[in-house]
Amino acid sequence: MDMREPQCVDDVLSVDANAREVARKEVMRLAS
């Protein structure tokens, strides 16, 4: 995890959304 202070809220939201998308794809791959 990057421990730097976030540039802005949008950066945090985009990173969170990306992490969620990656996790969802991983779950779907493992479940298949």
Q: What is the pLDDT of residue 10?
A: 84
pLDDT at residue number 1: 58
- Quote the pLDDT of residue 9: 81
State the pLDDT at residue 8.
76
Output the pLDDT for position 24.
96
For residue range 1-32, list pLDDT tens digits in order: 566 765 778 888 888 999 999 999 999 999 98
- At 6 the pLDDT is 58
Three-state SS sequence of 1-32: CCCCCCCCHHHHHHHHHHHHHHHHHHHHHHHC
